């Protein structure tokens, strides 16, 4: 993985933990704070945090068009929690000024499981992983609809919590908070590696 360069959008949220997981797997990881830092990246992670705050900062620093353009050029994108919300084509319960990136053909509902006090952990059976993965759900969104060509990777009950669509990955939980790098490895090897 030494030749893979992955940026983590470092405007707000749990970006440091993603960087540590990526570096632990041998990838070159970069905290992305300005759009020109997207140049030359093989992948980008949009981390969890507050989706409305991240969206405002993305608008302020002109990230929307930059991320869309780099994705069109082949940069893979993974959104975790708030990042999954922003990647969608449609956000349910969004604030009127919250614009989605529209990268993944999906509908995502903000705070679907309730408030901070309703956060929880659960074991998930994730496709392509060899054992259950402990999902950390913090004010988590819910993926309500995906395109027919997307692969649902995991569900919690009957709800979609992880999906891949080509070079796009969305998880409604926080793999970076578990100490288990298997979803990061999947992103590096399967999502970026196949793009």
Annotated active-site positions, please?
81, 174, 176
Q: Where are the alpha helices (DSSP H) in 25-151?
A: 51-60, 63-72, 82-87
Nearest in space to 190 (alpha carbons), one of 88, 80, 81, 42: 42
**How far is Cα 78 from Cα 73, in angstroms, rounded to an integer?**
15
Assigned token pair, 8: 């983590």
Assigned token pair, 4: 């893979």
Q: Which residue has the tokens 């449609």?
A: 90
The residues, any chain, with a CB within 8 Å of residue 41's CB and separated by 6 or more, are 5, 6, 7, 30, 32, 70, 75
Query: HEC string of 65-85?
Result: HHHHHHHHCCCEEEEECHHHH
């Amino acid at each position: 993985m030494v030749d893979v360069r992955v940026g983590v959008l470092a405007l707000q949220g749990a970006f440091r933990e993603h960087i540590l997981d990526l570096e632990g797997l041998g990838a070159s990881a970069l905290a992305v704070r300005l759009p020109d830092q997207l140049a030359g990246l093989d992948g980008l992670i949009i981390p969890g945090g507050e989706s409305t705050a991240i969206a405002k900062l993305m608008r302020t620093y002109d990230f929307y068009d930059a991320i869309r353009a780099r994705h069109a050029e082949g940069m893979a994108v993974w959104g975790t929690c708030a990042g999954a919300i922003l990647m969608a084509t449609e956000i349910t319960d969004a604030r009127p000024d919250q614009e989605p990136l529209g990268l993944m053909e999906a509908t995502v509902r903000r705070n679907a499981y309730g408030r901070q006090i309703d956060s929880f952990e659960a074991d998930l059976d994730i496709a392509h992983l060899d054992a259950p993965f402990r999902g950390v759900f913090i004010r988590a969104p819910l993926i309500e609809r995906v395109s027919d060509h997307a692969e649902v990777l995991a569900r919690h009950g009957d709800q979609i919590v992880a999906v891949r669509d080509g070079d796009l990955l969305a998880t409604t939980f926080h793999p970076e908070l578990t100490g288990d790098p298997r979803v990061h490895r999947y992103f590096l090897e399967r999502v970026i590696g196949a793009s």
